[in-house]
Amino acid sequence: HALDVLGARMLRLDANGFLGVEKSAEGLPAWSEGHPLSHAANHIIAGMVRKVGGFTFQELNLTIEDIRDTGAVGADLSYDFIGRPGYQHALATGQTEFLRLALTTSLELGVAPVGLVHGLQNHDELTYELVHWASHFDEKYRFRLREVPGAQLADEIRADLADQLTGSVDYNRIFTQNGIACTSASIIAATRGFATLDEITEADIPAIRDAHLLMCAYNAWQPGVFALSGWDLTGMLTVPADDVADLVATGDTRWIARGAHDLLGVAPDATRSAAGMPRGRALYGPLPAQLDDPDSFASRLSRILEVRREHGVATASQVDIPDVADPAMLVMVHRLDDGDPTVDAPIQVTVLNFSPEPVEGTVHSAQLVPLADVVSAETGATIGQVDELLSFEVSLPPYGALFLMLTGGVSEGVVR
């Protein structure tokens, strides 16, 4: 029905790791994750969908190994529960260390970003998704200059997010023990110190927009699927809890992040949706007006997506997440090989600044090509050259993002 009647091409399998459940010994939890019947059910469902011309992705909040193993016998893609809390933690703290740890751990365990759906806000809360670290409770991870057990790492990240995004604000709300009800824009508002949403003026919107576009660049300028919602496109803020009091009365605070929004500006005077949801505040406005403004969120997002399409990063191979010179920086190195590691492919480097301050630093990776020119894909300008130590310098504005291509250079004694 979804494929042939509604016209969907991709179907979401929600919590599909729990399709097989078996009673355990008395007093112990039931066996679900990794159960053979769960794998078999996933295989059957995904195979049936492919037979009728569709694809599936799984929304599975389990360990990285579970995401890998379940995906191997089932869904074609997996929702990115690995990097999502990492980039939001980076934005909240101005430091990318946990995000880099999450990305490198994912690569080491066999979950490449090309098989993931990298999303911004959806209908749910900002889920901490720290199951992997909590499950590896006694395994040690290097974090903040010390060795930390997985359980402690999960507690620290959860505490950071809760403190930064809900501690002193009245518009983001904790949802059970799994996450925070918020929008992408209200995450940024909290990181910028707004105690209430009424404090946000027109003069404050450009900085929020820039941080939001940084989140887009992180998700779009790496291999895999890029996803965002109408709430992102219009810059929606959360709605007051009092406006959805009947819906949040049982504790489901996620309703504050589901405000009605008008993508095309067809009902400017409406205060509620047809279903009765109160209209939230949209920082960026409807799409037609945005597309008439080259500096708007939607117009600048279109340029991010144009670069993504032109260079084929969606089907590239991520080959390195190197250490960084500034704690606010993130560097992702990709081979634009269309998934074929045997071809001689160009190297692409995504460099991001998760800080509200400008940064300067050195990009260093063993994957870089000596003496190659470093070219901005957006402007066509050469910003530097890779030296013989496999490094180059970069400067980024607040919440800046660079999509860089390496051209020329010397590789294994051959001039490129």
Q: Summarize pLDDT for 113-166 with one digit per residue, the tens.
A: 999 999 999 888 887 879 999 999 999 999 999 999 999 999 999 999 999 999
CA-wise closest residue to 91 among 204, 205, 200, 219: 219
Q: Summarize pLDDT for 359-407 with one digit per residue, the tens.
A: 999 999 999 999 999 999 999 999 999 999 999 999 999 999 999 999 9
Largest CA distance in the chain: 69
Q: Summarize pLDDT for 202-258 with one digit per residue, the tens.
A: 999 999 999 999 999 999 999 999 999 999 999 999 999 999 999 999 999 999 999
Q: Which residues of 318-332 are buried (b: 16+ CB within 10 A; e: fewer)?
A: bbbbbebbbbbbbbb
Answer yes or no: is pLDDT of 416 > 60.
Answer: no
Chain mean position to CA 144: 22
CA 232 – CA 1 distance, rounded (Å): 28
CA 213 – CA 301 distance, rounded (Å): 7
H helices of 312-352, in order, are: none
CA distances from 215 to 40, 200, 221, 248, 321 (A): 36, 20, 10, 28, 17
Angle at 67 between CA 63 and CA 69, to 5 degrees: 110
Is the dihedral angle over the CA atoms 322, 326, 332, 333 positive or is it negative? negative
Residue 206: count of CB within 10 angstroms of its CB? 12
pLDDT, mean of residues 88-96? 96
Contact 116, 79 (CB under 8 A): yes
pTM for this one? 0.94
Contact 224, 232 (CB under 8 A): no
Angle at 405 between CA 402 and CA 411, to 5 degrees: 140
3-state secondary structure of 146: strand
The end-to-end CA distance of the chain, in Å, is: 52
Contact 374, 393 (CB under 8 A): no
CA distances from 201 to 116, 204, 237, 283, 356 (A): 36, 5, 13, 9, 18
Q: Is 345 exposed, middle or buried (0-12, 13-18, 19+ CB in 10 A)?
A: middle
Q: Summarize pLDDT for 294-340 with one digit per residue, the tens.
A: 999 999 999 999 999 999 999 999 999 999 999 999 999 999 999 89
Chain mean position to CA 191: 17
Residue 303: count of CB within 10 angstroms of its CB? 12
278: its two tokens: 């109160």
